[in-house]
Amino acid sequence: MTEQKIINGVNVDQLFGTINAIKDTPGLAKFRFRASNRWVRGGHNTTTVKDFYGAGQEDTSRATAFVMNADEPAVLLGEDNGANPVEYVMAALAGCLTTSLVYHAAAQGITIESVESSYDGELDLHGFLGLSDKVRNGYESLNVTFKIKADAPEEKLRELVELAQRRSPVFDIVSNPVPVNVQLATETQTSRKAAA
């Protein structure tokens, strides 16, 4: 039995196996993630994620769903039952950039001792409140700072940070317009789905 090569907690043999499998069968690269949301009260709502489609099949391996509470702080009329949605955007960006950086470092044989990052974003409520059409509703900018301890020179760490940005799905999502299709399900549509 051969020993698996693990770097930064990443099974590098499996990583390259996945890359080769996708090269051989490009359709394995297609994933569809899903979420459902339910309003609780005020600014409080919950989002649930569980099953997804990936690697050519429906994945039902998660024993339990992940439930995320979103709310607003009191100053924004909420009850602080969870981070607010724009804070979740920063959390998603943080998680994805860090994962991208660590995976690519592992693929290059670079051992990471620690990665920390900080995030801040400026948002002006004039847009959200409809007080100005000249102010965007979302972040005006996001700032990210990484601190990395690794067995690599600073130049290589800078390359990893740049590579993480180029390969991170969430960085791509927040940096480029993504078509978002929103619709209202009518009672008739809901009844038909329930009957099917």
Indicate the number of domains in the chain.
2
User: In this structure, what token pair is assigned to residue 54?
Assistant: 């990936």
User: What is the pLDDT confidence band of residue 80, given thresholds at 50, 70 and 90?
Assistant: very high
Do 142 and 73 fall into the same domain? no
Tens of pLDDT, residue by residue over 20-74, are: 999 999 999 999 999 999 999 999 999 999 999 999 999 999 999 999 999 999 9
Q: Which helix (H) or strand (E) holds 16?
A: helix 12-24
DSSP-based three-state secondary structure for 10: strand
Do 93 and 159 fall into the same domain? yes
Distance CA 24, CA 99 (A): 25
Residue 102 lies in a domain: yes
Do 159 and 130 fall into the same domain? yes
Show the domain range for 61: 29-82
Residue 151 lies in a domain: yes
Do 35 and 68 fall into the same domain? yes
Look at residues 185, 125, 115, 170 and name the one whose alpha carbon lies nearest to residue 146.
Answer: 115
Do 110 and 164 fall into the same domain? yes
Tens of pLDDT, residue by residue over 155-172, are: 999 999 999 999 999 999
CATH of the domain at 170: 3.30.300.20
Q: What angle do CA 165, 167, 173 make, to 5 degrees?
A: 75
How many CB atoms are located within 10 Å of the residue 6 CB? 12
User: What's the pLDDT score for residue 110?
Assistant: 97
**19-37 as b/e: b if 16+ CB within 10 A:** eeeeeeeeeeeeeeeeeee
Inter-helix orientation angle 12-24/85-107, to 10°? 100
